[in-house]
Structure 1
Amino acid sequence: MRKLIFGINLTIDGCCDHTKMNGSVEIHEYFTSLMRGVDLLVYGRKTYELMVPFWPDVAKNNSGDTKSMNEFAHTFNAIDKVVFSRSLPDAEEKNTRIVRTDLQDEILKLKQAPGGIISTGGVALPSQLMELGLIDEYYIVVHPVVAGEGRRLFDGAILPQCVQLKLAASNTLTSGCVALHYLKE
């Protein structure tokens, strides 16, 4: 069965608003390395619209501020995507499919289909996936920033039971960020 992984950047106080953190070469390299093992991205509409057309445009024009941004853009652009949305009329990319059916049923079908790792990002959709017990691994990069405000990870998530995780790896980056990898027990 395919694994579903979740990756996100957070501030120390749990804020997941990307505008509150500084991107760095290391962060792009970290997530590019993670994405190289992924063959399907699963997003909700909001995350998809944050990522597309930004990253495909960077890939098309090699317009990133750094080589690592361009590498991330090319890696992201090459991966097939599934977007869960009832309001998005169509996808901007040819390798993207809009899904309007039941989230749990579709994710279970995707996990049982042949292929490699499935990755998700954002907040709302991963919260629902966590509530359903469908996320297998968590990749969380904690930035040395206290945002003081902004959307918090898993705010409003209603769990049927506590989700126990096991630390599989941790890595302190030179920027002071800490990359954590957890497995669902």
Structure 2
Amino acid sequence: MAKLVFGMNVSLDGYVDHQAFGPGPTLFRHFIEQVGSAPGSVYGRRMYEIMRYWDEDRDDWDAAAREFAAAWRQQTKWVVSRTMTSVGPNARLVEGDLETAIREI
């Protein structure tokens, strides 16, 4: 059985706002290492749609952003959604019973 690690970005006061989030260099380095070392990630539809930002290179990216994008693209992604009918590269749509699907990972 694989080890499942839960992660979430939240401020100390419990506030979550992914539209205004911009990690500093130290935290972004942590994310690069985390994505590069994990065999895969489980996403809900909304977070997966946000993360699709990393599917295509952008001219304004620095070296760290390119490194993160490369790691994210290589990683297998399981996307949990009842409304999506397809997902992007290196992603699998999780349908049906979530507990069963997670146990199969």
- Answer yes or no: is 1:109 the counterpart of 2:96: no
- Matched-pair contact (CA < 8 Å) for 1:62–1:70: no
Q: 1:105 to 1:73 in 2, by over 3 A?
A: same
Q: How many residues align?
A: 105
- Describe the SS at the equivalent of 1:82: strand
- TM superposition score normalised by structure 2: 0.88
Q: 1:92 to 1:21 in 2, by over 3 A?
A: closer
Q: 1:3-62 deviations in whole A, cap 9, x for unaligned? A: 11122222121112123443222221101111222111111111110101x01113xx46
Q: 1:62 to 1:36 in 2, by over 3 A?
A: farther
- TM superposition score normalised by structure 1: 0.52
Opposite residue 77 of structure 1, the aligned amino acid is R
Question: Runs in 1 of length 4+ with deviation above 3 angstroms?
Answer: none
Q: 1:88-114 deviations in whole A, cap 9, x for unaligned? A: 121122x1111211011111111xxxx
> Which structure has more helix as a fraction of its residues?
2
Which structure ranks higher in relative contact order (CA pairs < 8 Å, sequence separation ≥ 6)? 1
Q: How does 1:30-49 map to 2 (within 5 A)?
A: 30-49=30-49
Q: Identity percentage over the alignment?
A: 30
- RMSD value over aligned CA atoms? 1.6
Opposite residue 50 of structure 2, the aligned amino acid is L
Gaps of 5+ in 2: none
Q: How does 1:126-145 map to 2 (within 5 A)?
A: none
Q: In structure 1, what is the Cα distance between the partners aligned to 2:76 and 2:98?
A: 17
Which residue number corresponds to residue 3 of structure 1? Answer: 3
Greater gyration radius? 1
> Which structure has more strand as a fraction of its residues?
1
